[in-house]
A and B are shown apart, each in its own frame.
Chain A
């Protein structure tokens, strides 16, 4: 039996696409990377979260960014003057996610 190799070509959009967020909801099944520029205090919500999902938020801009209470920040701080990579790992569905925040090394 021939070995079937899975390529990125067969992956769904939720693993391969970048979405510019027009709302404040992060739909974990809609894209892999989400981008947003803050211009005011912003509260994000998460939807369709399942254990094991990993999503990347690229966020910049000023204002207080509030993540759901289920998010625990492992490391890093937000700097609105540059792009921030906020990587979210869902460790217990919608109940618990862990976040690490980082910026480009200068």
Chain B
């Protein structure tokens, strides 16, 4: 990605344009982009959970176009964010838990025992969920809550 400051705005291109018109003429087959004002666009590394990128800007020191990294401002309080995170956590575990519920329906209907492996797995599952909930509730900043990675059961 490259960009150029032109007519008061920064225009981005995936590559040097084949045709470029400016006040000096209509240029074909541009090979040295910098001589026309084209410079690379550098996307800074940032944490998308806690930061976002601002509008593209010119960095004169580095001679590149880049984006300012802006810390996110949350509208929810820390406690509200924790509660929301825990709710998502529980919904994830609940969905997994339901996958073995049929063993207990069968037990009720037919009397066939639930395998011990299923009982143990559900117990571990519940313990894991409780541990993660405790971890979330122990977080002390909104950024930590935003960054907390929930499990994936895909």
Find chain A residues with CB under 8 A from B26 CB: 66-69, 71-73, 99
**Closest Cβ of chain A: how far from B98's Cβ, in Å?**
59
**Closest Cβ of chain B: how far from A59's Cβ, in Å?**
9
Find chain B residues with CB under 8 A from A28 CB: none
Interface size class of B (residues with CB under 8 A): 10 to 19
Check A65 against B31 for contact (C-beta < 8 Å).
no
Check B32 against A66 for contact (C-beta < 8 Å).
no
The residue from A43, A64, A65, A71 contacting B32, defined by CB atoms under 8 A apart: A64
Find chain B residues with CB under 8 A from A80 CB: 29
Find chain B residues with CB under 8 A from A65 CB: 27-29
**Closest Cβ of chain B: how far from A35's Cβ, in Å?**
16
Write the chain A residue with the least CB distance to B21: A69
The answer to the question of B18 belonging to the interface, with a C-beta cut-off of 8 Å to chain A, is yes
The answer to the question of A101 belonging to the interface, with a C-beta cut-off of 8 Å to chain B, is yes
Q: Which chain A residues numbered 83 to 104 have a C-beta less than 8 Å away from chain B?
A: 99, 101
The answer to the question of B120 belonging to the interface, with a C-beta cut-off of 8 Å to chain A, is no
Write the chain A residue with the least CB distance to B28: A78
User: Could you give 28 example pairs across A and B, Cβ below 8 Å?
Assistant: A62-B31, A63-B29, A64-B29, A64-B30, A64-B31, A64-B32, A65-B27, A65-B28, A65-B29, A66-B26, A66-B27, A66-B28, A67-B25, A67-B27, A69-B21, A69-B24, A71-B25, A72-B21, A72-B26, A73-B21, A73-B26, A77-B18, A77-B19, A77-B28, A79-B29, A80-B29, A99-B26, A101-B28
